[in-house]
Structure 1
Amino acid sequence: MTTSNTEQNTNSNKCMIIGDDVKSEYRAEIPNVVDTIVESCSRKACFEHVDAAIIPSRDAVIEIIDITRRILYPGYFENQVIDRANLSYQLGGEVNDLFEKLSKQITNSIMHDCQRYGEKCSQCHSRGKKEALDFLKKIPELREVLASDILAAYEGDPAAKCYDEIIFSYPGVLAVTIYRIAHELYKQNITILPRIMTEYAHSIVGIDIHPGAEIGEHFFIDHGTGVVIGETCQIGDSVRIYQGVTLGAMSFPKDETGNMVRGHKRHPTIKDDVIIYAGATILGGDTVIGERSVIGGNVWLTKSVPPDNTVIIEEPKLIYKKHRK
């Protein structure tokens, strides 16, 4: 026996009416829920960003990174062919675009700090444009340093077939490129933006370099996943490190009120021509790895190493067991 179309339509209408009534019943509670959420914003235990200047946009910062990479490596990341005849036109457009976007985000960063922390705001827009222009002036020097990093990758990795392969595909080169961009802004005392940049690199390639770290030329991170380089780390020229290396802090001293002391050196110093193999952990602000030293895989160090030394762990005892058939 089948149900007539009239009966089906009647039942459907009844369901719709009942459904609307149920929805209205629950929706009636939403204003109370909203009031509870709003009230929670005034609690000290919760975080909010109300009555503060707009925070710099993470999406805009990622776009800034992409534009800067196209300027640093002309012809590598565009969707069109670039030749010498149109290089000036192409770069001119990119540089102007970068200036506008970067100055806006720097301005947002400055205004945010002024309002958030009660600082006296002075010509924020003018300062934003000046800082952006100062960064643009550093690009030729940045390109030379990054060229030395790419050369270090080619010299340090026998699997590398050409420079193009390194620029296009090596995660270590991407992380170092973003770090060097962020580090220049960090040196200009721009807040928030540099950390957004390096944490973006961290999220996509698994290499965590704080923008405050000081890293010399001809630097290469091979493979890279799991590398951590702390804020006060100092790394010389021609240093090579492998995956899983940690250059970290050994402890976090506190002041008399129990608050963590910030700004002091707490990460190691790595001198020129040092090689650090996979899984090594080097900790402490007083720890110095001397020139041309080699730190073996999985070594744990909290003390300094003189120049021209190799540090390895004892060979582990291996047990071989015959598979039973």
Structure 2
Amino acid sequence: MNDEFFRQILNKQQLAEAVPSNKEITAWAMEVIRLLFPEQSKKVFLSVGQLKDEFAKLEQELSHIMDATKACCEGNNPKRAQNFFNSLPELYRILNTDIEAIFNGDPAARSEFEVIRTYPGFFAISFYRLAHSLYVNDVPLIPRILTEYAHSKTGIDIHPAADIDEYFYIDHGTGIVIGETTRIGKNVKLYQGVTLGALSVAKYMANTKRHPTVEDNVVIYSGATILGGETVVGHDSVIGGNVWLTKSVEPHSRVFHAPTVKVLKKSEEN
């Protein structure tokens, strides 16, 4: 092995050292979520001033994280951090609609506290909402780190660029994939194993809408696969389990997979 090989590795090492670890970045996000939803932790704050101080520290920390990530972040990072924290009241409002949707939609949910503390769907949604807010503030890399962390914890893969409206409900959730250019309306419910994906992964399609649009009040049951940037699931529709869909459906549609199932009695097995 020649010296050039080692120099290439060292150059990459220097680049990697400039970027805070994924652990530091996800810990910052977890602290934001814990401040918004103290049900996640045992921290106690006795005054509005103390809470303001904690949020101010996290704003500075975000700015420092972006400054340290010089390989990907350019521009006025303190302003970006400020914009993100200014958006928190609206983000908090939307997350509370997600909690409400989960609590009202799941007969097994006993309290909103339980939803916040234990539900993987809410965990993934909360990380997505933070990541998406950073994404729309032109922060690169960090949003993807956050959603991939939630993916690793829950099995729910939501791209930070996906556009998801309020009252979003993920039930169970493992295996859900929501692609980069997906658009999801209000009051949508997804079960485990749902894929909202692309018909093609060709690189030349990077800047086009490749993933479907799901309009308001849609339920998509487990294992359904919906593909394509021109595919629209009309509002108030139900997509049944294991459906494979690559064409649009009208509002109020009911789309079901019809497998052939035969149940044999013991006497018929031979």
Query: TM (normalized to structure 1)?
Result: 0.77
Q: Which residue of structure 1 aligns with residue 248 of structure 2?
A: 304
Shift of 1:263: 1.6
Shift of 1:62: 1.2
Q: Which residue of structure 2 aligns with residue 99 of structure 1?
A: 59
Q: Secondary structure at the match of 2:152?
A: helix
1:21-36 residue pairs with structure 2 within 5 A? 36=1
- The structure-2 alpha-carbon separation of the partners of 1:38 and 1:293, relative to structure 1 and needing over 3 Å to count, comes to farther
Q: Secondary structure at the match of 2:266?
A: coil
Q: Which residue of structure 2 aligns with residue 60 of structure 1?
A: 24
Query: Does structure 1 residue 49 correspond to structure 2 residue 12?
Result: yes
Equivalent AA in structure 2 for residue 287 of structure 1: T
Q: Over residues 112-163 of structure 1, what are the superposed CA-to-partner deviations in whole Å (9 max), with x where a residue is unaligned?
A: 137xxxxxx6xx5xx1111111111111111100010000001110111111
Q: Which residue of structure 2 aligns with residue 15 of structure 1?
A: none
**Equivalent of 2:182, from 230, 233, 238?**
233
Give the Cα separation in 2 of the matches to 1:234 and 1:253: 20
Q: Over residues 1-33 of structure 1, what are the superposed CA-to-partner deviations in whole Å (9 max), with x where a residue is unaligned?
A: xxxxxxxxxxxxxxxxxxxxxxxxxxxxxxxxx
Shift of 1:41: 4.4
> Which of the pair has the greater relative contact order for Cα pairs under 8 Å at 6+ separation?
2
**Equivalent of 1:113, from 57, 63, 72?**
72
Query: Does structure 1 residue 40 correspond to structure 2 residue 5?
Result: yes
Shift of 1:243: 0.3
Q: Contact conserved, 2:164 with 2:185, CA < 8 A, in 1?
A: yes
Equivalent AA in structure 1 for residue 227 of structure 2: L
Q: Over residues 74-105 of structure 1, what are the superposed CA-to-partner deviations in whole Å (9 max), with x where a residue is unaligned?
A: x31332444xxx13143123212211211111
Give the Cα separation in 1 of the matches to 2:44 and 2:72: 42
Give the Cα separation in 2 of the matches to 1:289 and 1:48: 47
Q: Contact conserved, 1:234 with 1:268, CA < 8 A, in 2?
A: yes
- The structure-2 alpha-carbon separation of the partners of 1:103 and 1:304, relative to structure 1 and needing over 3 Å to count, comes to same
Q: Over residues 151-195 of structure 1, what are the superposed CA-to-partner deviations in whole Å (9 max), with x where a residue is unaligned?
A: 000111011111110011000001000000000000011111000
- The structure-2 alpha-carbon separation of the partners of 1:271 and 1:51, relative to structure 1 and needing over 3 Å to count, comes to same
How many correspondences in the alignment? 267
Equivalent AA in structure 2 for residue 221 of structure 1: I
1:1-325 residue pairs with structure 2 within 5 A? 36=1, 39-41=4-6, 49-50=12-13, 52=15, 54-73=18-37, 75-82=38-45, 86-109=46-69, 111-113=70-72, 124=75, 127-253=76-202, 260-322=204-266
Give the Cα separation in 2 of the matches to 1:177 and 1:288: 25
> Percent of aligned positions with the same letter in both sequences?
45
Q: Secondary structure at the match of 1:291?
A: coil
Moved over 6 A (4+): none
Give the Cα separation in 2 of the matches to 1:41 and 1:322: 68
Q: Secondary structure at the match of 1:143?
A: helix
Shift of 1:38: 5.3
- The structure-2 alpha-carbon separation of the partners of 1:47 and 1:269, relative to structure 1 and needing over 3 Å to count, comes to farther
Equivalent AA in structure 1 for residue 72 of structure 2: D
Q: Secondary structure at the match of 1:272?
A: coil
Shift of 1:320: 1.8
Give the Cα separation in 1 of the matches to 2:11 and 2:209: 31
- The structure-2 alpha-carbon separation of the partners of 1:173 and 1:37, relative to structure 1 and needing over 3 Å to count, comes to farther
Q: Which residues of structure 1 form unaligned runs of 5+?
A: 1-35, 115-120, 255-259
